[in-house]
């Protein structure tokens, strides 16, 4: 037995932050996701890419409990969370953004991020906005945390602006800030740079790297903007027609003939 194998057998690796094993979901006759497996490790940004309808959002819905898998398993830090309800998955530390925005347009930037803290704390949304004595301390912590997240994400100059007045780029940053308010271990973003021009997308990518360094342990990123996703991801999983087509580092994926044929040749950016 080689030294490497010996080392593997005597020192089992700690479980991945997120393990997806043989995940499948059918809707009637449509196999939206078929036998998808991948790992997300500590400190990693993992890109999940593929053409429209490939099954990326369905994967998000399966991991975060919005859909129940037809088969397969999802584990968070080695603990089986398959079929857990969305609220429990978020409380456990896996927080997602949505392909369609979940920003409350009439609320300010600060109020939106503050509302996001509701998920992470035991207080009710009512308590957040109408604090009673016993929640005053939690309220102050939430306010301090909201201000800190907004500064980190670079929206402090827009703190009191109603969300309806934000530019597209600012809205995308606010969506990330709201997700961070729930104090995730894993941040899952579904097309977070949709609608951004290329320089805004590059700046957004730098912000994501900062988020990974300072706020979360790992990011799972669905994104069609190829410059962005290739620039920020440590590894990529490529889906096509519900199945995993390839997995590897950005340079490997860009050089993979199957991926180029199925996807990269006709990617949006």
Ligand X SMILES: Nc1ncnc2c1ncn2[C@@H]1O[C@H](COP(=O)(O)OP(=O)(O)OP(=O)(O)O)[C@@H](O)[C@H]1O
Q: Report the interface residues with ligand X, using CB under 6 A.
A: 27, 30, 32, 50, 52-58, 99
**Quick check: helix, strand or coil at residue 222?**
strand
Size of the site for Mg ion (CB under 5 A): 1
Residue number, 57 or 64, with CB nearest to Mg ion: 57
Residue 121 interacting entry, from Mg ion, ligand X, none, C-beta within 5 to 8 Å by type? none
Residue number, 98 or 118, with CB nearest to ligand X: 98
Residue number, 57 or 108, with CB nearest to Mg ion: 57
**Quick check: helix, strand or coil at residue 77?**
coil
> β-pairing, 71-76 with 45-49?
unpaired
Tell me the closest approach of the beta carbon of residue 98 to Mg ion, in angstroms.
10
Residue number, 122 or 268, with CB nearest to ligand X: 268
Per-residue CA distances from 203 to 140, 154, 170, 228, 231 (Å) = 31, 11, 11, 9, 11
Q: How far apart are CA 67 and CA 57, in angstroms?
A: 11
- Establish how many alpha carbons lie within 13 A of residue 96's alpha carbon, considering only the half-sphere containing its beta carbon: 23
Which of 19, 24, 57, 145 lies at the binding interface for Mg ion (CB under 5 A)? 57
Residue for token digits 């740079």? 193
The CA radius of gyration of the chain, in Å to the nearest whole number, is 19
Q: Does 58 bind Mg ion (CB under 5 A)?
A: no
- Establish how many alpha carbons lie within 13 A of residue 217's alpha carbon, considering only the half-sphere containing its beta carbon: 15
Residue number, 57 or 128, with CB nearest to Mg ion: 57
With both helix axes pointing from N to C terminus, report the angle between 198-214 and 136-153 in degrees, rounded to the nearest 10: 130
Tokens of 137: 């301390």
Question: Which positions lie near Mg ion, rule CB under 5 A?
Answer: 57
């Amino acid at each position: 037995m080689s030294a490497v194998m010996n080392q593997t057998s005597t020192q089992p690796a700690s479980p991945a932050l997120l393990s997806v094993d043989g995940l499948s979901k059918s809707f009637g006759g449509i196999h939206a996701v078929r036998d998808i497996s991948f790992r997300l490790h500590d400190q990693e940004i993992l890109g999940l890419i593929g053409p429209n309808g490939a099954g990326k959002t369905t994967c998000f819905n399966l991991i975060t409990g919005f859909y129940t898998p037809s088969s397969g398993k999802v584990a968070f830090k080695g603990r089986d969370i398959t079929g857990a309800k969305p609220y429990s998955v978020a409380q456990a530390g896996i927080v997602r953004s949505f392909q369609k925005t979940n920003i409350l347009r009439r609320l300010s930037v600060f109020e939106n991020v503050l509302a996001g803290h509701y998920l992470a704390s035991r207080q009710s949304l009512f308590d957040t906005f109408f604090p009673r004595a016993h929640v005053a301390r939690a309220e102050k912590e939430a306010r301090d945390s909201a201000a800190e997240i907004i500064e980190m994400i670079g929206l402090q100059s827009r703190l009191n602006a109603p969300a309806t007045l934000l530019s597209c780029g600012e809205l995308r940053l606010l969506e990330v800030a709201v997700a961070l308010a729930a104090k995730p271990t894993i941040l899952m973003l579904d097309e977070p740079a949709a609608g951004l021009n290329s320089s805004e997308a590059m700046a957004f990518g730098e912000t994501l790297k900062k988020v990974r360094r300072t706020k979360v342990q790992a990011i799972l990123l669905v994104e069609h903007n190829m410059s962005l996703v290739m620039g920020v991801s440590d590894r990529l999983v490529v889906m096509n027609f519900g199945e995993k087509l390839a997995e590897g580092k950005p340079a490997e994926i860009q050089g993979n003939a199957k991926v180029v044929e199925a996807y990269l040749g006709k990617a949006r950016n």
